[in-house]
Structure 1
Amino acid sequence: MTNHKLLIVGTVAALAILVAGGAYLSGRSEADRFAQCRTGNVAGGMEAFGTDFTLTRQDGARVTAAEVFTRPSLLYFGYTFCPDVCPMDTARNAEAQALLAGQGSEVQLVFVTVDPRRDTPEVLTTFGEQFSEDIVGLTGSDEEIAAVNKGWRNYYKANDAEDDQYYLVDHMTNTFLVMAGGATAEFFPRDTPAEDMARKVGCFLDAAS
């Protein structure tokens, strides 16, 4: 093989390596762009959380996940008859939302009921208005609520065997950060202070920009 042909072959090989390396680094950068913001790992990764859905918003409109998650959102699963935990968590999320707004970052609150029997759109409207002007309340059929909870690995159980009116509902209390487009980026336990939540969410928003 002549030196000219060797040069061509070598150049093509080098370009192929550069293209492959660039694609690898690009994919790695996309996968790791939030790595500096995360404080822990979960089995299956955060990409295992989430699902498509169609639910009923507090104004009565039927909406899909794509229509809800048009911007970064703090997603919480709870119910309005909850005596303490849900109001406290929603208030904390609203405080984090306000802190982020003060820094020029907008996030919305999304509240998905685990008690669709009692949480009608009207009830969700009254509940949400206590905490934020920018909160989306979602309800649906028993099957729809079960499916969306399963998508975010959220356990819940209504204790209504003896009382079908004033029962309580066991449920998990994580808040999820869902980015615009519907990808779940992080979750926050209920003992996360609003200031820490706002700081960590801000990291994700900066990394996404």
Structure 2
Amino acid sequence: MARLFAICASGVAASLLAACSPAAEAPVGEPPLAGATIGGPFELTGANGKTVRWEDFRGKYTIVYFGFAYCPDICPTDMQRMAQGLSEFTEANPTLGANVQPIFVTIDPERDTPEVVAEFTSAFSDRIIGLTGSADQVKAAADAFRVFYQRGETQPGGGYLMDHTNITYLFGPAGEPIATLPTDEGYEAVAEELAKWVR
């Protein structure tokens, strides 16, 4: 990676259900997050400086992760496993996989400019859309997606940590929450969870 993403915080781990099912089988029962009030309208800035809204993704499944580019451990690990899991799912199911859009939203807009976010996301996959915005815009998005974050401990040299929820959400084509993706269990588990719900 061209720059050193050096300063970060450990996130607050929160994962729900992870289930395995071949892509050919229909999901059993309701999605784990069916009916949950997670997600909602946002207006943020993409890597090209253009405004991006939640409704822009209607008709696609979306993977949404909130983190930040200066994280040396948890965020990069989650992003790598998410990207690898989506890649494996897409290889096995090209048409379905092409209808899944991964999204990264920073919770550190002070440091994460569009350029920084673009560099961070491209280290994992060119498919990931990286988003930033004003402090108020980021807070509104995080609140809508039930994501906690706050600035943490100051580091030598003036850097700082960020404490935040690290949940990888999967949403359906209408923006409905479906499940969390088990990045803590590895990319294979992510691929299996995608195969269970993406139709």
Query: 3-state SS of the aligned residue for 2:115?
Result: helix
TM-score for both structures, normalised by structure 1: 0.74
CA contact (8 A) 1:71 1:180 kept: yes
- Aligned match of 1:80: 69
Q: CA deviation at 1:109?
A: 1.4
Q: How does 1:3-14 map to 2 (within 5 A)?
A: none
1:185 maps to a residue whose letter is I
Query: 3-state SS of the aligned residue for 1:171?
Result: strand
- Aligned match of 1:7: none
Q: CA deviation at 1:179?
A: 1.7
Question: Structure 2 unaligned runs (5+)?
Answer: 1-25
Structure 2 CA distance, aligned partners of 1:190 and 1:129?
Answer: 18
Q: CA deviation at 1:92?
A: 0.4
Query: 3-state SS of the aligned residue for 1:48?
Result: coil
Change (3 A) 1:164 1:198: same
Q: Of 82, 88, 108, which residue of structure 1 is paired with 2:101?
A: 108
CA contact (8 A) 1:97 1:108 kept: no
- Aligned match of 2:4: none
1:168 maps to a residue whose letter is L
Residue deviations 1:19-52, cap 9 Å, x none? xxxxxxxxxxxxxx965364xx56xx54310110
- Aligned match of 1:48: 37
TM-score for both structures, normalised by structure 2: 0.77
Residue deviations 1:78-130, cap 9 Å, x none? 00001111111100000011011111232221000010001000001111111
2:112 maps to a residue whose letter is D
Identity over aligned pairs, percent: 31
Task: State the superposition RMSD in angstroms.
Answer: 2.2
- Aligned match of 1:178: 171
- Aligned match of 2:133: 140
1:179 maps to a residue whose letter is G
1:150 maps to a residue whose letter is D
Query: 3-state SS of the aligned residue for 1:55?
Result: strand
Q: CA deviation at 1:186?
A: 1.0
Q: CA deviation at 1:198?
A: 1.3
Structure 2 CA distance, aligned partners of 1:205 and 1:162?
Answer: 42
1:65 aligns with 2:65: no
CA contact (8 A) 1:37 1:204 kept: no
Q: How does 1:81-100 map to 2 (within 5 A)?
A: 81-100=70-89
Structure 2 CA distance, aligned partners of 1:109 and 1:160?
Answer: 29
Structure 2 CA distance, aligned partners of 1:179 and 1:81?
Answer: 29
2:44 maps to a residue whose letter is L
Structure 2 CA distance, aligned partners of 1:108 and 1:163?
Answer: 37
Q: CA deviation at 1:68?
A: 3.6
Deviates more, 1:90-99 or 1:157-166: 157-166
1:204 maps to a residue whose letter is W
Structure 2 CA distance, aligned partners of 1:130 and 1:161?
Answer: 26
Structure 2 CA distance, aligned partners of 1:50 and 1:203?
Answer: 21
- Number of matched residues? 170
Higher helix share: 1
Looking at CA atoms only, which structure, 1 or 2, has the larger radius of gyration? 1
